[in-house]
Structure 1
Amino acid sequence: MYYSSGNYEAFARPRKPEGVDDKSAWFVGAGLGNMACAVFMIRDGRMSGDRITILEELKLPGGALDGIEYPHKGFVIRGGREMEDHMECLWDLFRSVPSLEVEDASVLDEFYWLNKDDPNYSLCRVTEKQGQDAHTDKLFGLSDKAQKEIVAVILATRQQMEDKRIDEVFTREFLDSNFWLYWRTMFAFEEWHSALEMKLYLHRFMHHIGGLPDLSALKFTKYNQYESLVLPMYRWLLDQGVTFRFEHTVTDVQFDFQDGRTQATRIDWVTGDGAEGGVDLGPDDLCLVTIGSLTENSDDGDQHTPAVIKDGPAPAWDLWKRIAAKSDDFGRPEVFCGDIDKTKWESATVTTVDERIPAYIERIAQRDPFSGKVVTGGIVTARDSSWLMSWTVNRQPHFKAQKPDEVVVWVYGLFVETPGDFVKKPMQECTGEEITQEWLYHLGVPVDEIPELAATGAKCVPVMMPYVTAFFMPRAAGDRPQVVPEGSVNFAFIGQFAETTRDCIFTTEYSVRTAMEAAYQLLGIDRGVPEVFNSTYDVRYLLKATTRLRDGAAVDLPGPNFLKGRLLDKLDNSQMGVLLTDFGLIPEHAGTVARERADDAIE
């Protein structure tokens, strides 16, 4: 397997791998990563779909990419997926999956046209004082010290950031800035999370630094992620003859270790009715396992019932623990799943049932929620919320089954153990109705109207997720296994807890990238895996990000004016000077102006 970039590799069709007709593939989990890997095996590896079986604990595919309507509860989305232009593996996947909405178009075509016609951006990113615009003016508010801390993290090696917390490499000057507010609420970072992941995110999204304040960096699907992404891929795989076995909980994978060669030899499972089973694997039977899970043991409450924290047996994590016990090369799951208090947060899906609440949404979003177009343009964060509550309204309808007068809203809080501002209870103890009350308070609904409006104007389903940020826990090399461990004959690990150093986690792209790497290595597919977009190595993006981090302020060169003038004159006549001027780091004709001021001072 190798990495590549450019159209030459992007449009090449690989030759059929030798021996692929003799191979079969067994997948543990029907999430995005495994489904993507199956697509790559069929499309690029020419494996027949009827030789692929996908085992899934749940009754439907998609994993964390969800969206469902529960009878008597309402619509539920546990989380949303923010996407951008340069998710190279993701778009490589969906260019080949037919749209269910648009005739003679792929999912990528549909997504591309939608976001061209209706580009995403926010008109109000932060509120305070019960729904008032916080007027952050798209500024980061980073002091010189905070800017230097960001640069230090970017320049540090990966090893220097291992096993460190964010609050160990950044001071309060950074953590009190608008930049950190935008960043943490967009990506769900806590101060105790991994400094290494923070570094990787800064590198990965260097080209989108300027889009943080108004979320113009982001793109979204037409509907929830299940209907827009999972269903088209599921239908395509079924059409190719792929077998899905739902309500199959895989309990263990057996391996044979001999002379530096490791082969998966058996998959054991339990079905929904309690029957034990499994399949024996030979060297041509491929085993691909999604390890860990951010949505494992999620619990749904309802309008009158809080969601609970389920800290008991967790099948996905228990499976990885059993696998990891067999070899040091299979990772250390306890690093990620061992402290639920640091990996949990709660989301809630609010469905409005008439036009009263949407009027308050429109006041903040400055867009009509019923227009069918972008509404909030991403999350709105209530800066003074004790829960650090954020909420978003995507294009409506967000579910095809919505009624015309319904709006689906996604709400989440990072501080679930802190009492609220209107509801004097921690979010994790609140019913759907109480979470709605707290949200309405920060939406600006008059206090005396909140209880009645929360009871009759909406229904809410809270969801507690004990492991939702498990992959952000401080880690070191070896805590995550390689996608294809050294010596593997027939198996690979896929998903957010498999290690590919080329990308950062908590993205759809990461799951698909691990899937592509697994398929290409196990089948010997002779085509490059798309390289991560190289904005962190492009001087233009670096200069643009530098300007943006300084809120547009030019660099103040030290020293006397006559020396500044001579230095800037030199820059004026160079390509570097053109770049620095174009990106606002030095004013246009700054050298001439500085020299004239120096001459005036001398006279």
Structure 2
Amino acid sequence: MTESKAYLLGGGIGSLSAAAFMIRDGGLPGENIFILETNPIVGGSLDGAGNPIDGYSLRGGRMLTTDNYECTWDLFKSIPSLTLAGKTVFDETIEFNELHKSHSMARLVDTRRAKVPVSSMGFSMPNRKELLELSLASEAELGASCITDWLSPEFFETEFWYMWATTFAFQPWHSAIEFKRYLHRFMLEFTRIETLGGVKRTIYNQYDSLVRPLQSWLAKQNVHFYVDCKVTDLERHIATNKLVVTGIHYQQGGESKTIAVKNGDLVFLQNGSMTDASSLGSMTSAPKQLTKQDCTSWTLWEKLAAENSDFGNPAAFNSSIAESCWESFTVTLKNPAFFDKMCKFSGNEAGTGGLVTFKDSNWLMSIVIAHQPHFIDQPTDVQVFWGYALFPDRVGNFVPKPMAECNGAEILQELCGHLRFDFDTVASANCIPCRMPYITSMFMPRLHTDRPVPIPHHSKNLAFISQFVEIPDDVVFTVEYSVRVAQMAVYQFLGIDRQIPPVTPHDKSLRVQFEALVKAFK
């Protein structure tokens, strides 16, 4: 296989991980690997950009744990830190979290700006029965059903739901299967959901702490990066009932180009994107409301799926923006007043509290105050925090319009209203809102056949690596899912005789089961 070439279409964490696994475990030379990315930088949804003058911006931040995320840490134990000589990314992350342990003391806040008691999950006996029935149902029984098909309306008013939904970004109309998978995968986190004690953080935002060191290592292995490069089509034919990719058509710098894919070469496609058609606003303008016509990631997958059902059904995920859209915002401050008041109110120093959710917010708004600096180039006199809201289509409590129509200044006004902070605390702040129409599209109700497996049965040299691929037991909307899919596809294609780290079965632990039972009855 050392003469083979690998073409990775999309520059997200899945493609970067696949490239690393091919080099580290498959012995493929880095110069034989080509990553083609539509945007000017790689990293996909793990982004982080800006500066202290124009403001920093993060579309999102994925929750990490060291009790799960087996494939992610298997990879990053091999990637050198950019900032600590002789350390890996895994080493620096563990050391950082030993110094800054998560223990939220203001997980939920009500309309009176009072901390909501969260020692109890707020379940009634019918709630417990419903949750147990859902968690024990098979995926065949759950099918394409929604969470609301299994849980009664009062369940969605429990303290548990407010904490679980905002930690993982679930909506009541999302897939019952995905909800069940989360209950099992993160049963250990259920036992400490009120403190977020299992959450681990990278030193900086995940672009600076995960993407940049991984890209740097790949570049030193002579991996080729083609950015501002839009793949438009694949030349393909069917041989012995298998799809064979023979060419890659792309546009770059206004020119149409083609790569010939030879016998023995491999192609990895990142099918779909949860941050496709995302748009940024400013302090004076709301983000543009982009639609599917503005997307770049779905078309090629749709072409392939139309030819063979083995390649999935993208329409299950990209057909209802109203059900998959929410909005985030990043705030850059040059006055410590907001951070000082927030730390005093919450009882948490920056970087130890996790999400603070305003449970009575019409937008269901949450914010997280990260350890500073949150960007690798962030000056010491600048602070950055991030927030998001699950219901941007609803009129605010303090601003009489939907969040989707609000600029950054109006979002700050709404936030200060919930906290009862004077607007002076954020008067010089720069708030950059971000609308993401497909951010929870992978949570949409689906059938088992709607997601292709990493290497479909009818594929000879094409693999799928994204959040829209089917692998058993694991959960989408995590860095781990993208890395695991990439590792599975690479190992299968290259015939690598090394065990992929299995999903840790916390839900089979008698201790974890007992602690979860105790938590459910508090």
Give, as a single letter, the amino acid of the residue that structure 2 aligns with 1:385.
Answer: S
Q: Does residue 49 of structure 2 align to residue 73 of structure 1?
A: no
1:126 to 81, 88, 108: 108
1:381 maps to: 357
Distance 1:267 1:230 in 2: 25
Task: Report SS of the residue matched to 1:186.
Answer: helix
Does structure 2 retain, via aligned residues, the 8 Å contact 1:78–1:463?
yes
1:404-553 matches, cutoff 5 A? 404-445=380-421, 449-450=422-423, 452-454=424-426, 456-551=427-522
Q: Does residue 68 of structure 2 align to residue 92 of structure 1?
A: no
Q: Does residue 242 of structure 2 align to residue 266 of structure 1?
A: no
Give, as a single letter, the amino acid of the residue that structure 2 aligns with 1:90.
Answer: T
Q: Does residue 268 of structure 2 align to residue 288 of structure 1?
A: yes
Give the direction of change, closer, same or farther, for the CA distance of 1:368–1:420 in structure 2 (3 Å limit): same
Distance 2:52 2:287 in 1: 17
Shift of 1:25: 0.2
2:85 to 84, 103, 119: 103
1:594 maps to: none
Measured on the aligned residues, the alpha-carbon RMSD in Å equals: 1.4
2:158 maps to: 177
1:325 to 288, 292, 306: 306
Distance 1:77 1:246 in 2: 20
Give, as a single letter, the amino acid of the residue that structure 2 aligns with 1:458.
Answer: A
Does structure 2 retain, via aligned residues, the 8 Å contact 1:142–1:173?
no
Distance 1:328 1:226 in 2: 35
Distance 1:417 1:173 in 2: 22
Q: Does residue 340 of structure 2 align to residue 359 of structure 1?
A: yes
Give, as a single letter, the amino acid of the residue that structure 2 aligns with 1:188.
Answer: A
Task: Report SS of the residue matched to 2:431.
Answer: strand
Distance 2:174 2:429 in 1: 34
Shift of 1:267: 1.3
Distance 1:527 1:122 in 2: 39
1:253 maps to: 234
Give, as a single letter, the amino acid of the residue that structure 2 aligns with 1:467.
Answer: Y
Task: Report SS of the residue matched to 1:147.
Answer: helix
Give, as a single letter, the amino acid of the residue that structure 2 aligns with 1:103.
Answer: A
1:488-510, Cα deviation, whole Å (9 max, x unpaired): 22120001001111311001000
Give the direction of change, closer, same or farther, for the CA distance of 1:137–1:327 in structure 2 (3 Å limit): closer
Distance 1:522 1:296 in 2: 28
Distance 2:496 2:459 in 1: 16
Q: Does residue 138 of structure 2 align to residue 157 of structure 1?
A: yes
Distance 2:234 2:307 in 1: 10
Task: Report SS of the residue matched to 1:436.
Answer: helix
1:104-135, Cα deviation, whole Å (9 max, x unpaired): 0100011111112221121110112353212x
Q: Does residue 32 of structure 2 align to residue 51 of structure 1?
A: yes
Does structure 2 retain, via aligned residues, the 8 Å contact 1:416–1:426?
yes
1:591 maps to: none
Distance 1:61 1:430 in 2: 29
Distance 1:500 1:62 in 2: 22
Task: Report SS of the residue matched to 1:478.
Answer: helix
Task: Report SS of the residue matched to 1:530.
Answer: coil
Distance 2:263 2:510 in 1: 47
Q: Does residue 280 of structure 2 align to residue 300 of structure 1?
A: yes
1:600 maps to: none
Shift of 1:549: 1.1
Task: Report SS of the residue matched to 2:298.
Answer: helix
Shift of 1:292: 0.5
Distance 1:125 1:537 in 2: 28
Give, as a single letter, the amino acid of the residue that structure 2 aligns with 1:151.
Answer: L
Shift of 1:548: 1.2
1:220 to 194, 197, 201: 201
Shift of 1:200: 0.7
Distance 2:458 2:285 in 1: 50
**Structure showing greater Rg:** 1
1:545-572, Cα deviation, whole Å (9 max, x unpaired): 1111111xxxxxxxxxxxxxxxxxxxxx
Distance 1:519 1:141 in 2: 45
Shift of 1:70: 5.5
1:296-352, Cα deviation, whole Å (9 max, x unpaired): 111011111111210123110122212222211111111101111111100000112
Task: Report SS of the residue matched to 1:418.
Answer: coil
2:290 maps to: 310
Give the direction of change, closer, same or farther, for the CA distance of 1:500–1:289 in structure 2 (3 Å limit): same
Distance 2:481 2:90 in 1: 17
Distance 2:438 2:234 in 1: 23
1:277 to 252, 257, 260: 257
Aligned length: 520
Give, as a single letter, the amino acid of the residue that structure 2 aligns with 1:511.
Answer: S
Unaligned runs of 5+ in 2: none
1:200 maps to: 181
Give, as a single letter, the amino acid of the residue that structure 2 aligns with 1:357.
Answer: F
Unaligned runs of 5+ in 1: 1-19, 552-603
In the superposition, the TM-score normalised over structure 2's length comes to 0.97
Q: Which is worse superposed, 65-74 or 139-148?
A: 65-74
Does structure 1 retain, via aligned residues, the 8 Å contact 2:280–2:435?
yes
Task: Report SS of the residue matched to 2:225.
Answer: strand
Distance 2:63 2:349 in 1: 22
Shift of 1:57: 0.3
Shift of 1:22: 2.0
Task: Report SS of the residue matched to 1:90.
Answer: helix
Give, as a single letter, the amino acid of the residue that structure 2 aligns with 1:481.
Answer: P
Task: Report SS of the residue matched to 1:27.
Answer: strand
1:186 maps to: 167
1:40-75, Cα deviation, whole Å (9 max, x unpaired): 000000000000000000111100001111586310
Shift of 1:230: 0.4
In the superposition, the TM-score normalised over structure 1's length comes to 0.84
Task: Report SS of the residue matched to 1:350.
Answer: strand
Over the matched positions of the two proteins, sequence identity in percent amounts to 38
Does structure 2 retain, via aligned residues, the 8 Å contact 1:471–1:497?
yes
Shift of 1:403: 2.7
Distance 2:348 2:128 in 1: 34
1:129-154, Cα deviation, whole Å (9 max, x unpaired): 353212x2322011111111111111
Shift of 1:279: 1.1
